[in-house]
Amino acid sequence: MSITLPTRRDEAWRWADLDTLSAARTTPRAEIGDAADHFLDLDGPRLVFVDGAFDAARSDPRRVRVQAIAAETAHPLGMHAAGTGWSLDLDASEAETCIQIAHLGSGGESHVPATLTLGRDAVASVVESYAGSGWANRLTRIRLAEGARLMRSVRLVQSAGFVSLREEAEIGQAASLVSIFLGAGGMGSRIDGELVVTGDGGFAEMGGALLTRGEQRQECAVAVRHAALDGSSMQLWRAVAADRSAASLAARVEVARGAQKTDGEQSLRGLLLDRTATVNLKPELEIFADDVKCAHGATVGELDRAAMFYLQSRGLPEGVAKALLTRAFVADAIDRIGEEPVRAAFLADAEAWLAEALA
């Protein structure tokens, strides 16, 4: 497939690792592990995609349908995610929780679209895991009707290659969307998101932790757009960069004209473990209404010396103190996951990463 990639001259892609993405497209096929390793012990639908193809034998989709989906987006990567994908449609007041989806890549590129449409007061939760290698390109479109609630937890644990995710959501009146991402693998990544709060009193949250080491580059470029009254949103991102890696967080809150009483919160923090690592932050606000509360905070640095000193004075060796504080730093973002077993699994992934990076 011929794909025209954006370039780093484009302002929105200036920190993107497009070289790794290009290289991942042509990686040779390699063995992939067992899909079962990536499922948590939860009762719910399970879907396995191998190199973008649905693996019916190892799946139990239940209400989730696998079908052809068009890629209706102008996003330069998301527009290529057309073909067979998965979709969930829930009618009013229905619930479907703990949907688990494993994306396994053996190399090369794969493109999978998805749609999630929740009726009034419907509830759903989805856990996605990306493992293996190659370039996984995904487009997820979400529509939440009045009062619907969706919790998404996505972990990127590919050992190599690149994962690019594009999320587009419309959040209706008093509906709530929470999407939390953990990048704890060896791949490059780009998490793109555009959440639009279209109904009064809607809530949108997108956040997570990106952990990078080696020559790795991971980034997010997400925006929440408030187009209705009384909306609130939260963007809480943490980046930890070691070795010569780079982690970039770009988050934007947009408040449209007339979207009064919006409360948008942004917190971007970066932690550098080595002097060769890079953290880039871009906490952006675009505000067209006067009666709003939008605060953002951004910090970059190393671990707090006072906290380090305190822990060491209580008898903890330096390495343990460092690990403890780093874990707490990352946990800020992961703690936003509502479901206990999912949160525990994500924290375990983060800890495994930290144990190696801090060793």
Partner 1 sequence: MMATRNAEALAAANKKYEWGFSSDIEQDFAPKGLSEETVRFISAKKNEPEWMLDWRLKAFRLWQTMEAPDWAKLNVPPIDYQDAYYYAEPKAKPKLGSLDEVDPEILRVYEKLGIPIEEQKVLAGVEGERKVAVDAVFDSVSVATTFRKELEAAGVIFRSISEAIREYPDLVRQWLGKVVPMRDNYFATLNCAVFSDGTFVYIPEGVRCPMELSTYFRINAENTGQFERTLIVADKGAYVSYLEGCTAPMRDENQLHAAVVELVALDDAEIKYSTVQNWYPGDENGKGGIYNFVTKRALCQGRNSKVSWTQVETGSAITWKYPSCVLNGENSVGEFYSVAVTNGRQQADTGTKMIHNGKGSRSTIVSKGISAGRSDNTYRGLVRVAPGAEGVRNFTQCDSLLLGEQCGAHTVPYIEVRNPSAQIEHEATTSKISDDQMFYAMQRGLDAESAVALIVNGFAKEVLQQLPMEFAVEAQKLLGISLEGSVG
Is the Cβ of residue 134 or residue 283 nearer to partner 1 in the bound state? 283
CB of residue 303 to partner 1, shortest distance in Å: 9
Nearest to 95 by CA among 114, 122, 72: 122
- In angstroms, the CA 90 to CA 96 distance is 8
CB of residue 196 to partner 1, shortest distance in Å: 18
Is the Cβ of residue 11 or residue 41 nearer to partner 1 in the bound state? 11
Q: Taking a C-beta distance cutoff of 8 angstroms, is the pair 197, 169 a contact?
A: no
Give the binding site for partner 1 (CB under 8 A).
11, 257-258, 260, 270, 272-302
Is the Cβ of residue 31 or residue 290 nearer to partner 1 in the bound state? 290
Is the Cβ of residue 292 or residue 334 nearer to partner 1 in the bound state? 292
CB of residue 184 to partner 1, shortest distance in Å: 20
Is the Cβ of residue 122 or residue 253 nearer to partner 1 in the bound state? 253
CB of residue 252 to partner 1, shortest distance in Å: 9
Instruction: Dump the DSSP string for 113-176.
Output: EEEEEE-TT-EEEEEEEEEEEEEEEEEEEEEE-TT-EEEEEEEE--SSSEEEEEEEEEE-TT-E
Q: Where are the beta strands (DSSP E) in the chain?
A: 46-50, 53-54, 65-69, 83-90, 95-118, 123-144, 149-156, 162-171, 176-183, 188-197, 203-212, 217-226, 232-241, 246-255, 263-272, 278-287, 293-301
**HSE-up (13 A, CA, CB side) for residue 271:** 23
Assigned token pair, 219:
């980034």
AA letter at 73: T
CB of residue 208 to partner 1, shortest distance in Å: 18
CB of residue 302 to partner 1, shortest distance in Å: 4
- In angstroms, the CA 187 to CA 134 distance is 9
Is the Cβ of residue 85 or residue 193 nearer to partner 1 in the bound state? 193
Nearest to 270 by CA among 206, 342, 218, 348: 218
Is the Cβ of residue 118 or residue 303 nearer to partner 1 in the bound state? 303
- In angstroms, the CA 207 to CA 249 distance is 10
AA letter at 171: I
Q: Taking a C-beta distance cutoff of 8 angstroms, is the pair 132, 105 a contact?
A: yes
CB of residue 306 to partner 1, shortest distance in Å: 12
Is the Cβ of residue 163 or residue 223 nearer to partner 1 in the bound state? 223
Q: Taking a C-beta distance cutoff of 8 angstroms, is the pair 240, 323 a contact?
A: no
CB of residue 289 to partner 1, shortest distance in Å: 6
